Amino acid sequence: MNDIAASSFFDPQVIADPFDYYRAWLPKSPVVPLSEGMFLVLSYDLCVQATGAVDIFSNDFQATLSGAMAEDGDVAAILAEGWPQVDTLLTADPPVHTRFRKLVNLAFSMKRVAAIEEDMRRVVVGLIEAMAEKGEGDFVRDFGIPLPVAMIASQIGMEKDLDRVKRWSDAFVDRLGRMIPKERELECAREVVEFQHHVKAKIDERRANRTDDLLSDLVHAEVDGERPLEDAEILSIMQQLMVAGNETTTSALAGGLLQLIENPGQMAKAVAAADAGDERTILNLVEEVLRIESPTAGMWRRVLKDTELGGVAIPRGAMVQLRYAAANRDPARYPDPDRFDIERANARSHLAFGKGIHMCIGNMLSRKEMAVAYSELLTRLTDFRLADGHTPSWPPNMLLRGLTTLPIMFRRRA
Ligand code: HEM
């Protein structure tokens, strides 16, 4: 195991199943030099350290990444029919980041999250009842995708566009992961432009008539008498909310159910907790799923000045990937880290949502979706198992990791 080459991180098979790689490299070198000017950070403490040093480890990585993996002319020509990508939340540093984060924080107020919960339970129960009729199905297709898509679509005023929201979201994710053939790159660029024109029309509608949703709040947002947001800025925020809110939560929901199926002792504890209305254990189950699944497996940082991390010299201009998924299985932090334990005492300290100023803005929303989903699933259905002959697999993506299909069988509870 110990001779896994550092550069094999780019191997699609390793990226799809990276755990041997983490186990081999974490004790040897928590900061792995991947290639010229590119590093991987694997340990919990060093990921935390880097997320806290925003003056050195910058989130302004979009331009560098697109420079490193330049758009080809055909892709650029398609994108030119839309709006330019501007840095707002994920890919901005202070003070720009601070301004946008304030605006979106306001829109994700407690009042809105509370209003969502009732709606969420209705959606969850509806999806479960539709599955229960059949006794089998693809959990990703029938539950994992539609729940977060419905929740985020209603927040951004696209509840009537569920299929399109998913299609656009997939296109952005594929562009981010960049392990796609040229044909798909062209298709993704067309999806991006279609998304932008669609949302731009909705922005114009809301400029004329205010509505009660997050998009309208953003269109009319003003903090400290600052200028209103421009179209390209609103498009960037909307795109991030849509993308970040979909694929990651789908992966967490499906990955968590698979963990429960594969660990019958933990499944029994979770069912007992759901039956007893033991919210604390269900919430801890959610945290343990997030820790062990870590759907956002890694996130980039661009290094602004010569520095060192864990004793490794990192030059200005380097790209560093904080590998949250490896940090979440760091044995120094989580004893027996590969074991799925819904009663793990420090599960909630995981880095699945990152840490510091960029910590996930949707964390409360996705935690709530997962808690409602598992408690309703476990009280309404039973005897979950994988469909005969199915072996779960994960498509390669440099940043996100999640199941794209999970065929299961189950019974309705008596
Ligand atoms: C299980 C589900 C989710 C996971 C694992 C996840 C993971 C993450 C992580 C790791 C980051 C930090 C990135 C960094 O370190 O630079 C992040 C940021 C972000 N997330 Fe999530 N996320 C999830 C759900 C959501 C949802 C539901 C939304 C929106 C509705 C959302 C919106 C965002 C946004 C806008 C940012 C950027 C925040 C900033 O830079 O200030 N995420 N997410």
Query: pLDDT (tens digit, 0 to 9) for every residue of the chain, 414 residues total?
Result: 457 999 999 999 999 999 999 999 999 999 999 999 999 999 999 999 999 999 999 999 876 665 445 568 899 999 999 998 888 899 999 999 998 898 888 767 667 777 788 889 999 999 999 999 999 999 999 999 999 999 888 877 788 888 898 899 889 888 876 678 889 999 999 999 999 999 999 999 999 999 877 888 888 887 667 778 899 999 999 888 888 888 899 999 999 999 999 999 999 999 999 999 999 999 999 999 999 999 999 999 999 999 999 999 999 999 999 999 999 999 999 999 999 999 999 999 999 999 999 999 989 889 999 999 999 999 999 999 999 999 999 998 889 999 999 999 999 998
Ligand 1, atom 6, lies closest to the CA of 353
| In-domain check, residue 370 | yes
Residue 310 belongs to a domain? yes
For ligand 1, is residue 243 a contact (CB within 6 Å)?
A: no
pLDDT attached to residue 62: 76
Q: What is the pTM of this model?
A: 0.93
With a 6 Å cutoff on the Cβ, whether 18 touches ligand 1 is: no
Cα-to-centroid distance, 50 and ligand 1 (Å): 17
Structural domain including 292 reads 6-412
Number of H helices, E strands in the chain: 17, 10
> For the chain, what is the domain count?
1
177: left (phi over 0), alpha (psi -120 to 50) or beta: alpha
Please tell me if the CB atom of residue 240 comes closer than 6 angstroms to any atom of ligand 1. Answer: yes
Query: What is the per-residue pLDDT for 191?
Result: 95
Whether ligand 1 lies within 6 angstroms of the CB of 365 is answered as yes
Top mutation candidate among 360, 368, 398 for ligand 1, by most atoms within 8 Å of CB: 360
Ligand 1: centre distance to CA 76 (Å): 27
The amino acid at 340: F
| Spatial contact of 9 and 21, defined as CB atoms under 8 Å apart | yes
Cα 103 to ligand 1 centre (Å): 16
Tokens at residue 242, please?
Answer: 């849509």
In a domain, 1, yes or no: no
Ligand 1 centroid from CA 401, angstroms: 14
CB 161 within 8 A of CB 198: yes
DSSP for 32-62, written as a single string: EEEETTEEEE-SHHHHHHHHH-TTTEES--H
Q: Is residue 81 part of a domain?
A: yes
The answer to the question of residue 125 being in a domain is yes
Cα(387) to centroid(ligand 1), Å:
32
Q: Is 90 in the pocket of ligand 1 (CB under 6 A)?
A: yes
90 CA distance to ligand 1 middle (Å): 8
- As given in the structure block, the two tokens for residue 403 are 């199941």
Please name the residue whose Cα sits nearest to atom 19 of ligand 1: 360
For residue 31, the domain's CATH number is 1.10.630.10
SS3 321: strand
Parallel, antiparallel, or unpaired for β 136-138 and 312-314?
unpaired
218-224 long-range contacts, CB within 8 A, separation 24+: 218/103, 218/104, 218/107, 221/103, 221/106, 221/107, 223/99, 223/102, 223/103, 223/106
Ligand 1, atom 16: closest residue by C-alpha: 358
Does residue 272 fall inside a structural domain?
yes
Where are the alpha helices (H) located in 209-277, listed in sequence order? Answer: 214-219, 231-262, 264-276
Quote the ligand 1 centre to 368 CA distance (angstroms): 14
| CA 273 to ligand 1 centroid distance, Å | 28
248 CB near ligand 1 (under 6 Å): yes
Ligand 1, atom nearest to 355 Cα? 15
Nearest CA to ligand 1 atom 36: 360
Q: Is 250 among the domain residues?
A: yes
Query: How far does residue 132's CA lie from ligand 1's centre (Å)?
Result: 31
Residues facing residue 39 across a β-bridge = 33, 320
Q: Are 50 and 41 in contact (CB under 8 A)?
A: yes
Q: Which residues of 126-142 are buried (b: 16+ CB within 10 A; e: fewer)?
A: ebbeebeeeeebbbbeb
- The answer to the question of residue 163 being in a domain is yes
